[in-house]
Amino acid sequence: MDGYRIEQDSLGEMQIPEDALYGAQTARAVDNFPISGIPLQQPMIRALGRIKKHAAQANRELGLLSAEAADAIMRAATEVIEGQLDAHFPVDIFQTGSGTSSNMNANEVIANRAARLLGQPIGSKAIHPNDQVNLGQSSNDVFPSAIHLACAEQLHKQLLPALEQLLQGLAEKTEEFKDILKIGRTHLQDATPIKLGQVFSGYARQVELTHERPSVNSSGLYELPLGGTAVGTGINTHPEFAAKTIAAIARETRLPFREANNHFEAQGAKDALVGTSSSLKDCAVSLFKVANDIRFLASGPRCGIGELILPAVQPGSSIMPGKINPVMAESLMQVCAQVVGNDATVALCGLSGNFELNVMMPVMAHNILQSIELLSNGILAFDEKCLTGLQADEKRCTDLLEQSLALVTALVPEIGYDRAGDLAKQAHKTGRTLRELALEDGVAAEVLNKLLDPTSMTEPKS
């Protein structure tokens, strides 16, 4: 049939697009899993390429692979790492739960590309996908190792730098707003005065803690299951293979990868991934609070709170001219909602560590990597298009503060809780100020001047 070639696996013949670098097992997986149209993410493809590259090098050093074959495999795997062969990885993420289809996809692509580099045709198996590219490996230890590798790399390349940038932006706003007095709010009701800079210092600390959690909770990612092969026993692999391969990966990535302390835990359970996903959910929860607060504080501009002024990044309505919406906050909040949902899926997948293997790994990989990407992109967009240009409306802050009845709290030490409560009720009912009513009630003017100074209410008394 024009445009196709025929290859065979253990189940029989398969038609494969003529120029595809993958082989029969990948083609079978494409037929079996027309589920979402979502292929493996590039960080996972890169991680598989990195493992195959250094596995070939280790097997050559151990005398198990010829120099010619190892060199060709390493060159082909390098092209995978660099993203040159992404188009040859079509397998859907909703596939076999061990990731076998994607591991074989990588084996076939690298084998065929290596054969080409040696002057041999695609499909010739001049380099064998199982016997040479997959030498000393199993999908059951390669695929989870690739997940750990991909997630750790993306955390360090994407999410942690994005959080650091956001933290810097919030620290700058903390300083910029440090002298602006405003009313505090608890239960959505007026509370005692606070400085806008103090509010933003709270946001900055949230992000600082959020930056710490993935670093701590993802430490298990550095243990790679490689070397356990099928069930953790290491059958069909050289005893030095895993250590050599992982050491080379660690050197290349500059991340502290090491062989799993216990291969049965590393392949039977996916607790490190569950913990990593949980830290991403924690990050989403914190960021949602920050974005939502800023959204509410900027509500208005005339009939809401209006203490913050959002940068105008796009028209807010197709019908109301001049309307500016908190679109960047809304975008980040939707990202956070998606990440929380992703974590729920990862947790459910973590329950499926049945005996010696977890069989829900591809969707775990997809969700964690998606969460990292969404959070990273959402944070950077929010920082650039919202936080950087965010301004305070100092007059609005002052006006709302002066209208608040919560200032009565400062009178409690002088006149008692009950008497202060009566003054607040009278002020609310009559529309008069607390100062007027307190003077009539016998509180001395100099005492009121001291007690009703909002600046003094924003710090603990010495």
Count the alpha carbons within 13 Å of 459 in the hemisphere toward its beta carbon: 8
Burial of 447 (0-12, 13-18, 19+ CB in 10 A): middle
Q: Kindly report the average pLDDT of the chain as a whole number.
A: 96
155-182: average pLDDT? 98
Distance of CA 169 to the CA centre of its chain: 19
312-340: average pLDDT? 95
Give the model's pLDDT for residue 384: 98
The Cα 51–Cα 133 span in angstroms is: 10
Helices (H) and strands (E) counted in the chain, each on its own, are: 17, 10
The Cα 242–Cα 222 span in angstroms is: 14
Instruction: Cite the beta strand spans of 359-406 per DSSP E.
Output: 391-392
Out of 87-101, 137-151, 411-425, pick the least confident: 411-425
Q: What global pTM score does this model have?
A: 0.95
User: What angle is formed at CA 81 by the lines to CA 75 and CA 82, rounded to 5 degrees?
Assistant: 90
The Cα 200–Cα 105 span in angstroms is: 49
Identify the three-state secondary structure at position 56: helix
373-401: average pLDDT? 97
The Cα 14–Cα 322 span in angstroms is: 61
Per-residue pLDDT band for 451 (boundaries 50, 70, 90) equals confident
Give the model's pLDDT for residue 2: 63
> Quick one: CATH architecture of 148-221+265-395?
Up-down Bundle (1.20)
Would the pLDDT of 151 be above 60? yes
Give the model's pLDDT for residue 217: 86
Give the model's pLDDT for residue 1: 46
- Joined together, the tokens standing for residue 182 give 């405003």
Would the pLDDT of 43 be above 50? yes
Helix (H), strand (E) at residue 189: strand 189-195
Give CA separation, 1 vs 17, 18, 111, 208, 402, in Å.
10, 10, 24, 60, 82
Would the pLDDT of 400 be above 80? yes
- Highest CATH level, class, for 17-135: mainly alpha
Per-residue pLDDT band for 215 (boundaries 50, 70, 90) equals confident
Judge contact between 232 and 267, C-beta under 8 A.
Answer: yes
Would the pLDDT of 461 be above 80? no
Would the pLDDT of 421 be above 60? yes
Count the alpha carbons within 13 Å of 337 in the hemisphere toward its beta carbon: 8
Judge contact between 424 and 405, C-beta under 8 A.
Answer: yes
The Cα 382–Cα 147 span in angstroms is: 28
Count the alpha carbons within 13 Å of 381 in the hemisphere toward its beta carbon: 17
Residue tagged 């050559």 (tokens): 60
Please give the share of the chain, as a percent, with pLDDT higher than 90.
Answer: 88
User: Is 404-458 in CATH node 3.30.70.100?
Assistant: no
Would the pLDDT of 49 be above 90? yes
The Cα 439–Cα 446 span in angstroms is: 10
Q: Where are the domains of the chain?
A: 17-135, 148-221+265-395, 404-458
DSSP, residue by residue, 204-246: HHHHHHHHHHHHHHTGGGGEE-TT-TTTSS-TTS-TTHHHHHH
Give the model's pLDDT for residue 182: 97
pLDDT for 68-125, tens place per residue? 999 999 999 999 999 999 999 999 999 999 999 999 999 999 999 999 999 999 999 9
Give 346's contacts (C-beta < 8 A, 6+ positions apart).
273, 274, 277, 364, 367, 368
Judge contact between 288 and 294, C-beta under 8 A.
Answer: no
Instruction: Cite the beta strand spans of 42-188 per DSSP E.
Output: 181-186
User: What angle is formed at CA 30 by the lines to CA 25 and CA 35, rounded to 5 degrees?
Assistant: 140
The Cα 178–Cα 164 span in angstroms is: 21
Closest CA to 65 of 231, 237, 205: 237
Per-residue pLDDT band for 317 (boundaries 50, 70, 90) equals confident
Question: Looking at the annotation, which residues are catalytic?
Answer: 187, 317
Cα end-to-end distance, the chain, whole Å: 88
Bridge-based pairing of strands 353-354 and 357-358 is antiparallel
Per-residue pLDDT band for 403 (boundaries 50, 70, 90) equals confident
